[in-house]
């Protein structure tokens, strides 16, 4: 049967993802528990940064190495390294700061979730923030087309670099599909691709990384909740009562997986005539307000039906500029979001 010393020998040369020092060097092993009768090993490991994609990669390595050594079941818990240990191996300013993850979700398709994701990312960039956007709707990817992106990501030294547009770094399944062909994959393959987007792309320093989730509560949404336990979430709905009723499921899923829902955005709230200024409430009223009250969060904004102003030289079919009234509404939502997250 494996011993505590043997566990340290097996895992000791793995490295803390941020300090780039071995777990042996940082004295990362807080505790090791072994149950011989069940061939069960539990390790508690201290890291410089918690709840990150790199932590997940390390977790997979720990499980793989211990199982290769004959352990049947592995339990892992990560805790925080003491500050003095972190400072010993890396100055505070050199430690990579993990971005704030914000998942944009909806209960159903057709409510403009991707439009909100794209324009919120652009609006945050207009506020001077470093922003990334993952098109996590892998079956229904649309972000490259919405943002007018035609080039492919760059690969250097086996590393993948996102495309930058409107100050936002973007990664999407759409970059790897020819002629808009459909994706015919099962859930585990979707999860693997999403994991690659989070862990294998060179994002650089970001303040926010937004994820445009597929509608509903399926495999990819569940994978995000498991991969990014500290992700915040915004729910998108229309004013229609049924849309907000369905959207409540996405909010409930977030809450049940310990994600913090930070607000609701109501899209297609009204149509405003350019000629008269009169508003027509095509999809009714009150859905966003009702949902925000049900989830006990703020209604961050109400967006009208409308079309961005585009020109032939810089076509981005779904991006509202800073001088467009809807673009200004997105800027207001971005400022509310920053104030809420950066208190």
- Same domain? 63 vs 173: no
Q: Are strands 168-172 and 232-237 parallel, antiparallel or unpaired?
A: unpaired
* Cβ–Cβ < 8 Å for 236, 303: no
Q: Specify the residue for token string 């470093």.
A: 130
* Cβ–Cβ < 8 Å for 241, 284: yes
For 243-262, what is the mean pLDDT?
A: 76
* Strands ordered across the beta sheet of 29-35: 29-35, 40-47, 73-80
Q: What is the pLDDT of residues 288-340, one digit of tens each?
A: 898 989 889 999 999 999 888 776 556 788 999 888 999 999 999 999 999 99
Least confident segment among 36-40, 193-197, 198-202:
193-197
Q: What is the pLDDT of residue 312?
A: 57
Q: What is the pLDDT of residues 3-42, one digit of tens each?
A: 999 999 999 999 998 888 999 999 999 999 988 888 899 9
- Same domain? 164 vs 272: yes
- Same domain? 84 vs 127: no
Domain-ending residue, one of 56, 71, 93: 93
Domain-ending residue, one of 39, 59, 93: 93
| More reliable by pLDDT, 196 or 234 | 234
Give the whole-angstrom CA distance, residue 286 versus residue 283. Answer: 10
- Same domain? 296 vs 189: yes
Question: In terms of residue numbers, what domain contains 86?
Answer: 4-93
- Same domain? 123 vs 187: yes
Give the number of other CB atoms < 10 A from CB of residue 310.
Answer: 15
The share of the chain scoring above pLDDT 90, in percent, equals 35
- Same domain? 159 vs 64: no
Q: Are strands 154-156 and 159-161 parallel, antiparallel or unpaired?
A: antiparallel
* Cβ–Cβ < 8 Å for 104, 231: no
Highest mean pLDDT pick, 95-109, 127-141, 289-303: 289-303
Q: What is the pLDDT of residue 26?
A: 92
Name the pLDDT band for 207 (thresholds 50, 70, 90): very high
- Same domain? 222 vs 190: yes
pLDDT beyond 70 at 117: yes
* Cβ–Cβ < 8 Å for 237, 81: no
Which two three-digit tokens encode residue 104?
Answer: 């944009």
> What ranges in 29-93 are assigned the alpha helix state H?
53-68, 83-89
Give the whole-angstrom CA distance, residue 99 versus residue 195. Answer: 16
What mean pLDDT, rounded, does the chain reach? 84
Give the torsion sign (CA, 222, 226, 227, 231): positive
Q: Output the CA angle 129-269-101, nearest 5 degrees.
A: 30
Q: What is the pLDDT of residue 184?
A: 47
Beta carbons within 8 Å of 271's beta carbon, 6+ residues apart: 279, 280, 282, 304, 305, 306
Q: What is the pLDDT of residue 195?
A: 73
Q: What is the pLDDT of residue 301?
A: 94
pLDDT beyond 70 at 221: no
For 265-285, what is the mean pLDDT?
A: 90
CATH of the domain at 57: 3.30.300.130
- Same domain? 206 vs 259: yes
| More reliable by pLDDT, 198 or 184 | 198
- Same domain? 115 vs 193: yes
Give the whole-angstrom CA distance, residue 57 versus residue 55. Answer: 5
- Same domain? 197 vs 144: yes
Give the torsion sign (CA, 46, 51, 52, 57): positive
CA-nearest of 163, 160, 149, 164 to 199 is 160
* Cβ–Cβ < 8 Å for 50, 78: yes
Q: What is the pLDDT of residue 230?
A: 74
Q: How many structural domains does the chain have?
A: 2
- Same domain? 152 vs 264: yes
For 167-182, what is the mean pLDDT?
A: 76
Q: What is the pLDDT of residue 181?
A: 55
Domain-ending residue, one of 55, 76, 93: 93
Least confident segment among 55-59, 67-71, 74-78, 155-159:
155-159
Whole-angstrom distance between the N-terminal and C-terminal Cα of the chain? 50
> What ranges in 110-218 are assigned the alpha helix state H?
113-126, 143-146, 187-199
| More reliable by pLDDT, 224 or 306 | 306
């Amino acid at each position: 049967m494996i011993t505590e010393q043997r566990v340290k020998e097996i895992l000791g040369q793995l490295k803390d993802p941020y300090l780039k020092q071995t777990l042996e060097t940082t004295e990362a092993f807080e505790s090791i528990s072994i149950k011989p009768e069940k061939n069960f090993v539990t390790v508690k490991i201290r890291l410089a940064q918690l709840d990150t994609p790199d932590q997940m990669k390390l977790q997979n390595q720990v499980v793989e190495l211990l199982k290769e050594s004959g352990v049947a079941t592995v339990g892992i818990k990560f805790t925080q390294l003491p500050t003095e240990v972190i400072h010993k191996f890396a100055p505070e300013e050199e430690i990579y700061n993990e971005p704030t993850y914000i998942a944009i979700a909806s209960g159903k398709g057709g409510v403009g979730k991707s439009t909100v994701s794209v324009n919120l990312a652009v609006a945050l960039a207009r506020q001077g923030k470093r922003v990334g956007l993952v098109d996590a709707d892998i079956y229904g990817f649309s972000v490259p087309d919405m943002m007018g992106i035609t080039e492919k990501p760059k690969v250097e030294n086996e590393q993948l670099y996102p495309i930058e547009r409107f100050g936002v770094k973007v990664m999407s399944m759409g970059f790897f599909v020819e002629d808009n062909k459909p994706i015919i994959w099962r859930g585990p393959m979707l999860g693997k691709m999403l994991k690659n987007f989070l862990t294998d792309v060179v994002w650089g320093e970001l303040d926010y990384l937004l994820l445009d989730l597929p509608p509903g509560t399926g495999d990819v949404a569940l994978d995000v909740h498991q991969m990014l336990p500290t992700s915040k979430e915004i729910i998108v709905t229309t004013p229609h009562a049924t849309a907000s009723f369905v959207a409540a499921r996405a909010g409930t899923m977030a809450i049940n997986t310990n994600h913090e829902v930070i607000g609701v955005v109501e899209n297609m709230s009204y149509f405003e005539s350019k000629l008269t200024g009169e508003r027509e409430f095509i999809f009714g009223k009150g859905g966003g307000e009702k949902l925000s009250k049900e989830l006990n969060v703020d209604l961050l904004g109400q967006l009208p039906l409308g079309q961005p102003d585009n020109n032939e030289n810089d076509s981005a079919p779904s991006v509202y500029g800073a001088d467009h009234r809807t673009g200004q509404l997105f800027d207001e939502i971005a400022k509310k979001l920053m104030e809420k997250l950066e208190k």
